[in-house]
Structure 1
């Protein structure tokens, strides 16, 4: 039986619990940036990647560095207002445009949490915070026992599964299950083709061409998300193939070293696609300040990955809820101090430009 004293009341308590459970893997640092003084990156050589970045972690660091270079225009003149953070994603009303990203494999982290429990905690915590969670896919997820889909079923479909780029036939079977469980959308982690662990475990993943994507879009009755896009030209090809959402992402810097940060390429992709296409972004986002930067650079919604893993491992559903509420509060503060009255007003005008 859980004692009342063991239930965390603050985000820092959640992080302390995560540090204990993730000992040797992640220390839940105040600054999660992929530098070599961090446990996740020091342990990268010759070992499973864990929460670190690929190679020397340059892509991981590029994500945080790109966001750090973005500065706000602080605006303090004008009528008083209360920021309105409400938004919509694929017709789903959200309290704020921050989604839990499509992570997976928590049971590899010191067996800190059962995988289905991990997935369910993220979906429930996201919903309780007023948003929605994506769920991922990894080598021990099978058609017969897929923890992400199991959690979706338990949560009456309130979530979005993002599958690894498996064979077309397997993807179609997974999509059928997602439709059966009432999921809100489906997607493929296109950059997951760089997941070596899948192939090593007999679960091959593949590069997908435009015809493959068109085939999956036509097959599914649900909105389709193409995740892992980092080039404007490839984003346009996905849109032309019928994709509903472009998820700008370098997989948290975990599949290819030396990519630019997501915040660097995001405005280029938005410029290429125009305003009519829904775009999400992830990579280096830690606070509501980072969220507002991504929105101003062109994202319609922002995804959180590593921090949500730590929150779920630390305190399950409550941990996820507490973390998302912290991000929400810092987003409100950032909007207030930049004169951003609502989410639609978040654009490049609130960003400092020395030119």
Structure 2
């Protein structure tokens, strides 16, 4: 008699044949594996993802958008996959901006155990890293169902001691939105980030999020550059300050303005009442030739001071990268591509394993820079070239 494991809800089943669906969470057989094959390490999770994402992502040790990577090779007329738009200059700029930053190693002083805990818009987290608002993974080799992908991210994030954001894409509709479906399954423990649809559509989606008990809502303002949305009858729009203010006033939930790359626009969003300014160039997926997020982040922090919560994403792959973003001015950091690979490889278990690895390396980075808690992460720990 074989034992089977659901990587979404962690239930186990006995039987000679692989179950077609999980009896508990209703995940299909793509999320069910033989108990003997359940990954015990992050490397095993990545190996599984590599197989499922063949031709789309090879889960390289260095995810930097270089031309020699599968995701970034020229492929005219084909979907962008996990790569960056155009030549991938924005994708690479994110990685390069972080790589150029060096940390000061501090070895003198009293011994201590780094405290990675933090509060994010009133939510207590074990560490300041959230799963970012990715979407559309169902279309990657049909590797997994979209709602199960979203559910895996939310469950895995919670099990690791943090919270997950969920995104929006062209096959999501107000009536059938996988992100919100997953929020309902997870009792609202998550944060939906919607594309900049019409105001009326956004209000309907925000109302659903409120009804499901979500912790916050937001809009991917840089999603106005998505052409695939309009092609499938899901038009997106640039939003003006008045429209952002309208959405902020419409909901009692904290509002996240995501996709900000200019200090003046960050200030305008803050003035409109946004609780969080998410500094992001959408992983280099909506516009080529932008600066790296790590280069822009300090400018936005300087502009806003401590008046609003700031997050950053783009090129973050390790706990060291997380610490760099915190030192540059972020209150929390979002992870995108790595979370996709983790969820594809092993569902909620994969997401949990990846986030726990990030937390472990963040603690190491904090220890070796003399950073006793996340609030102490500042420019002091960044090496300044003469």
Match of 1:79 in 2: 110
Out of 258, 267, 276, the position equivalent to 2:289 is 258
The structural deviation recorded for 1:276 is: 2.4
Query: Is 2:41 the partner of 1:10?
Result: yes
Structure 1: gaps (5+ residues): none
* Equivalences for residues 169-318 of structure 1 within 5 A: 169-318=200-349
Kindly name which structure, 1 or 2, has the bigger radius of gyration based on alpha carbons. 2
Matches of 1:176 and 1:43 in 2, distance apart? 41
CA contact (8 A) 1:44 1:52 kept: no
The structural deviation recorded for 1:348 is: 0.3
Matches of 2:87 and 2:110 in 1, distance apart? 48
Regions of 4+ moved over 4 Å: none
Query: Is 2:182 the partner of 1:151?
Result: yes
The structural deviation recorded for 1:354 is: 2.1
The structural deviation recorded for 1:64 is: 0.2
Out of 78, 84, 92, the position equivalent to 1:47 is 78
Out of 99, 103, 106, the position equivalent to 2:130 is 99
Matches of 2:189 and 2:112 in 1, distance apart? 32
1:66-90 Cα distance to aligned partner (Å, 9 max, x none): 0000000000000000000000001
The structural deviation recorded for 1:214 is: 0.6
The structural deviation recorded for 1:44 is: 4.1
Out of 341, 347, 351, the position equivalent to 2:372 is 341
Matches of 2:226 and 2:138 in 1, distance apart? 17
Out of 32, 37, 43, the position equivalent to 2:63 is 32
TM-score, normalising length: structure 2? 0.91
CA contact (8 A) 1:100 1:303 kept: yes
1:235-260 Cα distance to aligned partner (Å, 9 max, x none): 00000100000000000000000000
Out of 170, 175, 195, the position equivalent to 1:139 is 170
Number of equivalences = 355
The structural deviation recorded for 1:25 is: 0.3
Matches of 1:239 and 1:317 in 2, distance apart? 34
The structural deviation recorded for 1:43 is: 4.8
1:198-224 Cα distance to aligned partner (Å, 9 max, x none): 011111000000011011001011000
Matches of 1:130 and 1:313 in 2, distance apart? 20
CA contact (8 A) 1:296 1:348 kept: yes
Match of 1:321 in 2: 352
Matches of 1:166 and 1:86 in 2, distance apart? 35
TM-score, normalising length: structure 1? 0.99
Aligned partner of residue 192 in structure 2, secondary structure: strand
